[in-house]
């Protein structure tokens, strides 16, 4: 009865059911996505339009300059700070985490289970438990209000999740492969970077993405350990931006969109890695 | 690889059966430590040592600056419990948040997973839409929902007026009676993605034949879910509940971005109140005591979780 449905794979007898199913799904998706749609619409209209017609109406005229204005007003600074921190934290973290995870899975290490449990504690610690001593430590090392200091903290806090994901993957590498290489006289380090790491490439990509997103989004450590405006990372800068320009919804929305753009791109192109990475973390 | 769980590495064969390719096998005992050293060192310095030191600091009265710390034993904990009203508000809010987190993201995530589990045209697009909020930072989620709750221009109040319910309009985030709930809803929007993915993975391990057999026996969709699917999701459900509980107790950013604990401290959580006590009021002893209490509460959910993660074959 509905001409568009004939093109789908649904058998004709089920078409009414299918219509209802899709309708329910579409309504749910629309409600679920309304905040994002609102955000995009707000970023595209000028503040006056927003004030008169509210959030969910189509823009009277599209105002791209919101993006350039937000970018100029400081978002570019926050953006590049986030890029610097993320692009150092993620690769360094993954090297440390995979080395550790390899030792815990393949090196016949009798303390492996105990060390793994010790590392897992980090997954459950409320970050508030660490803030005061870290403030003292960072102060003593002169690392307060530096991107270096923040990056070091991120690497430390990333260890538990990274080890968990990499260990989960290394466990699936058949032990026979490792032992064959041992018999051929390969050193452990060589086995690690010539055999284990290449085999674990999907896990490395998954972890890079999950870790990159987590670093990009991190708020509380940045809030406590960065003091000057020009060093702020995006989440912190945006919250600051929102208190400073509380009425300029159009620019703030544009700023938010700029901040999520890299993540959206990652998500669109590497979606399956989000999923395998998350599953790896619980297996 | 959701179904295969190789376990060969947790228990190695006895030492003697291993190939020992080098005569100098003895130095190999130190080699694992060498591989572990960088990660263990930075993790210990950044995470573990501060935890222990925080617990120690919670026994002192200290302003965070002066060189003198006064040992007061458990006084900070007593002060919080007996004299700090906001501590109790925060504790109650954490409890409400926790219950909401155990109910809402888990059941919505399960619902989405069941919807998406059947392969239909466009299912991956819907999966992206439903998962998307989970990749946003909580600060951004907080900002977006702050607009939605805006008393005049916000989508929620406008939608209420448009659907003929203007009497339901509220000043969502500035009404002390209700402000916590809109924040929880915003957090839920972000928290659904992970349970959804985990449940989707779990659903794929449910054997099709079992469901078919139940269908042939005349079980409707609801009975099939209750008696076949859900029992098989038991393990997934436990992981989901543990992770959402642990994450719920970590909530901080979104409250900071949306209400900063206000109005009148009505949306404080232990995590945000810890920040106020430590960095605004310079009562470091009480701040760290709150952190310790928060950690102890987390342990209730975390101990079974860690047991599960480190389980033997």
Residues in chain B: 313
Interface test with B, best of A95, A128, A176, A210 (most B CBs within 10 A): A128
Are the C-beta atoms of A243 and B143 separated by less than 8 Å? Answer: no
pLDDT computed for residue A277 by the predictor: 66
For chain B, say whether A200 makes contact (Cβ under 8 Å). no
Chain B residues whose beta carbon lies within 8 Å of the beta carbon of residue A203: none
Q: At A176, which CATH number?
A: 1.10.3720.10
pLDDT computed for residue A281 by the predictor: 63
Whether residue A29 sits in one domain with residue A124: no
Are the C-beta atoms of B168 and B81 separated by less than 8 Å? Answer: no
pLDDT of B86 higher than 70: yes
Whether residue A190 sits in one domain with residue A273: yes
Peptide bond into B216 cis (omega under 30): no
Chain A residues whose beta carbon lies within 8 Å of the beta carbon of residue B189: 32, 35
User: Cα separation of A195 and B241, whole Å?
Assistant: 37
For chain B, say whether A234 makes contact (Cβ under 8 Å). yes
Does residue B178 lie within any of the structural domains?
yes
Q: In this complex, which of A25, A155, A252 lies closest to B42 when CB atoms are compared?
A: A155
For chain A, say whether B281 makes contact (Cβ under 8 Å). no
Interface test with A, best of B59, B137, B256 (most A CBs within 10 A): B137
Q: In this complex, which of B47, B124, B275 lies closest to A157 when CB atoms are compared?
A: B47
- Inter-chain contact A50–B288, Cβ cutoff 8 Å? no
Whether residue A122 sits in one domain with residue A38: no
- Inter-chain contact A242–B1, Cβ cutoff 8 Å? no
pLDDT computed for residue A269 by the predictor: 83
Please identify among residues 38-97 of chain A the ones whose CB lies closer than 8 Å to any CB of chain B. 38-39, 42, 50-51, 54-56, 96-97
Of B219 and A98, the one with more pLDDT: A98
User: Cα separation of A254 and B71, whole Å?
Assistant: 51
Does residue B45 lie within any of the structural domains?
no
Please identify among residues 171-190 of chain A the ones whose CB lies closer than 8 Å to any CB of chain B. 171-172, 174-175, 179, 182-185, 188
User: Cα separation of B210 and B221, whole Å?
Assistant: 13
Domain total of chain A: 2
pLDDT of B24 higher than 80: no
Are the C-beta atoms of B113 and A212 separated by less than 8 Å? Answer: no
Mean of the per-residue pLDDT values for chain B?
A: 88
Does residue B50 lie within any of the structural domains?
no
User: Cα separation of A214 and A86, whole Å?
Assistant: 9
**Stretch B215-231: mean pLDDT, rounded?**
88
Whether residue A82 sits in one domain with residue A48: no
C-alpha pair distances (Å), B169 with each of A53, A54, A249, B178, B180:
18, 15, 21, 12, 16
Tell me the count of A-B CB pairs closer than 8 A. 300
Domain total of chain B: 1
pLDDT computed for residue B218 by the predictor: 87
pLDDT computed for residue A5 by the predictor: 41
pLDDT computed for residue A241 by the predictor: 83
Whether residue A140 sits in one domain with residue A45: no
- Inter-chain contact B278–A109, Cβ cutoff 8 Å? no
Chain B residues whose beta carbon lies within 8 Å of the beta carbon of residue A196: none
Whether residue A101 sits in one domain with residue A9: no
- The β-bridge relationship of strands B70-71 and B60-61 is antiparallel
- Inter-chain contact B35–A188, Cβ cutoff 8 Å? yes
Q: In this complex, which of A106, A242, A282 lies closest to B198 when CB atoms are compared?
A: A282
Whether residue A170 sits in one domain with residue A235: yes
Does residue B17 lie within any of the structural domains?
no
**Stretch B265-286: mean pLDDT, rounded?**
94
Chain B residues whose beta carbon lies within 8 Å of the beta carbon of residue A123: 246, 302, 306
Whether residue A183 sits in one domain with residue A48: no
Whether residue A127 sits in one domain with residue A33: no
Whether residue A99 sits in one domain with residue A131: yes
Closest Cα in chain A to B300: A124
Are the C-beta atoms of A89 and A155 separated by less than 8 Å? Answer: yes
Whether residue A104 sits in one domain with residue A45: no
**Stretch B46-53: mean pLDDT, rounded?**
97
Residue A22 lies in domain:
3-53
Closest Cα in chain B to A211: B135
Q: A172 CA to chain B: closest CA distance, Å? A: 6
Q: A147 CA to chain B: closest CA distance, Å? A: 16
Does residue B124 lie within any of the structural domains?
yes
Does residue A64 lie within any of the structural domains?
no
Does residue B40 lie within any of the structural domains?
no
**Which residue spans within B41-124 are E strands per DSSP?**
60-61, 70-71
For chain B, say whether A214 makes contact (Cβ under 8 Å). no
pLDDT computed for residue B27 by the predictor: 58
Residue B74 lies in domain:
56-309
For chain A, say whether B239 makes contact (Cβ under 8 Å). yes
Whether residue A223 sits in one domain with residue A145: yes
A9 half-sphere exposure, CB direction, 13 A CA radius: 6
Does residue A68 lie within any of the structural domains?
no
Q: At B272, which CATH number?
A: 1.10.3720.10
pLDDT of B168 higher than 60: yes
- Inter-chain contact A278–B198, Cβ cutoff 8 Å? yes
User: Cα separation of A161 and A281, whole Å?
Assistant: 7
- Inter-chain contact A152–B46, Cβ cutoff 8 Å? yes
Q: Tell me, what DSSP letter sits at residue A59?
A: P
**Cα angle: A83, vertex A86, A88; to 5 degrees:** 105
Does residue B203 lie within any of the structural domains?
yes
Can you give the pLDDT of all 283 residues of chain A as single tens digits? 444 444 445 455 568 888 888 898 999 999 999 999 988 988 888 877 777 776 677 777 788 888 898 898 889 999 999 999 999 999 999 999 999 999 999 988 888 999 999 999 999 999 999 999 999 999 999 999 999 999 999 999 999 999 999 998 899 899 999 999 999 988 999 999 999 999 999 889 989 998 999 999 999 999 999 999 999 999 999 998 887 776 678 888 899 999 999 998 888 888 777 766 666 666 5
Chain A residues whose beta carbon lies within 8 Å of the beta carbon of residue B249: 126
For chain A, say whether B131 makes contact (Cβ under 8 Å). yes
User: Both tokens of residue B199?
Assistant: 């449940």
User: Cα separation of B36 and B192, whole Å?
Assistant: 35
Please identify among residues 198-227 of chain B the ones whose CB lies closer than 8 Å to any CB of chain A. 198, 200-201
pLDDT of B15 higher than 60: no
- Region label for B218, one of left (φ > 0), alpha (ψ between -120 and 50) or beta (otherwise): left
Closest Cα in chain A to B32: A103
pLDDT of B12 higher than 50: no
Q: With CA atoms as reference, report the closest residue to A86 among A227, A231, A273, A233.
A: A233
Q: In this complex, which of B130, B133, B306 lies closest to A117 when CB atoms are compared?
A: B306
């Amino acid at each position: 009865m509905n001409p568009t449905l004939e093109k789908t794979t649904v058998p004709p007898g089920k078409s009414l059911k299918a219509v209802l199913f899709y309708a329910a799904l579409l309504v749910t998706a629309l409600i679920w996505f309304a905040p994002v749609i609102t955000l995009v619409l707000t970023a595209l209209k000028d503040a006056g339009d927003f004030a008169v017609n509210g959030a969910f109406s189509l823009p009277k005229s599209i105002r791209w300059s919101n993006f350039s204005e937000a970018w100029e007003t400081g978002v570019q600074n926050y953006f590049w700070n986030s890029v610097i921190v993320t692009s150092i934290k993620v690769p360094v973290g993954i090297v440390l985490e995979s080395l550790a995870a390899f030792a815990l899975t393949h090196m016949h290490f009798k303390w492996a289970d105990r060390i793994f449990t010790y590392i897992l504690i980090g997954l459950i610690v409320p970050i508030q438990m660490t803030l005061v001593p870290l403030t003292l430590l960072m102060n003593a090392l002169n690392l307060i209000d530096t991107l270096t200091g923040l990056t070091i903290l991120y690497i430390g806090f990333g260890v538990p999740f990274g080890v968990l994901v990499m260990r989960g993957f290394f466990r699936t590498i058949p032990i026979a492969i490792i032992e064959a290489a041992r018999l051929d006289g390969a050193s452990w380090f060589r086995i690690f970077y010539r055999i284990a790491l290449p085999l674990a490439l999907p896990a490395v990509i998954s972890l890079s993405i999950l870790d990159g997103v987590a670093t990009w989004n991190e708020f509380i450590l940045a809030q406590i350990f960065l003091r000057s405006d020009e060093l702020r990372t995006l989440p912190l800068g945006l919250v600051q931006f929102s208190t400073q320009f509380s009425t300029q919804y159009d620019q703030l929305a544009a700023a938010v969109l700029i901040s999520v753009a890299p993540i959206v791109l990652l998500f669109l192109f590497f979606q399956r890695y989000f999923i395998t990475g998350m599953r790896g973390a619980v297996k | 690889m959701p179904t295969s769980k190789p376990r060969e590495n947790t228990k190695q064969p006895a030492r003697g059966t291993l190939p020992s390719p080098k005569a100098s096998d003895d130095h190999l005992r130190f080699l694992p430590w060498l591989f572990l050293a960088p990660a263990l060192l930075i993790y210990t310095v950044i995470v573990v040592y501060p935890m222990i030191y925080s617990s120690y600091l919670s026994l002192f009265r200290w302003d965070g600056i002066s060189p003198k710390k006064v040992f007061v034993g458990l006084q900070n904990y007593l002060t919080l419990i007996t004299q700090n009203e906001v501590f109790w508000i925060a504790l109650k809010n954490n409890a409400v948040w926790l219950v909401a987190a155990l109910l809402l993201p888990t059941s919505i995530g399960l619902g989405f997973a069941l919807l998406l589990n059947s392969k239909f045209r466009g299912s991956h697009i819907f999966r992206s839409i439903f998962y998307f909020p989970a990749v946003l930072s909580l600060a951004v989620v907080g900002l977006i929902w702050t607009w939605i709750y805006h008393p005049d221009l916000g989508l929620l109040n406008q939608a209420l007026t448009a659907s003929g319910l203007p009497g339901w309009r509220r000043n969502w985030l500035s009404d002390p009676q209700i402000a916590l709930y809109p924040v929880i809803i915003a957090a839920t929007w972000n928290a659904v993605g992970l349970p959804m993915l985990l449940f989707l993975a779990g659903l794929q391990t449910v054997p099709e034949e079992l469901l078919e057999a139940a269908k042939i026996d005349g079980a409707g969709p609801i009975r099939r879910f209750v008696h076949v699917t859900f029992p098989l999701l038991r393990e997934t459900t436990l992981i989901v509940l543990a992770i959402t509980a642990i994450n719920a107790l970590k909530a901080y950013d979104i409250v900071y971005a949306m209400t900063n604990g206000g109005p009148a401290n009505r949306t404080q959580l232990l995590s945000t109140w810890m920040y106020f006590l430590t960095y605004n009021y310079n009562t470091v002893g009480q701040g760290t005591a709150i952190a310790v209490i928060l950690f102890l509460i987390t342990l209730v959910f975390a101990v079974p979780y860690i047991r599960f993660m480190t389980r033997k074959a």
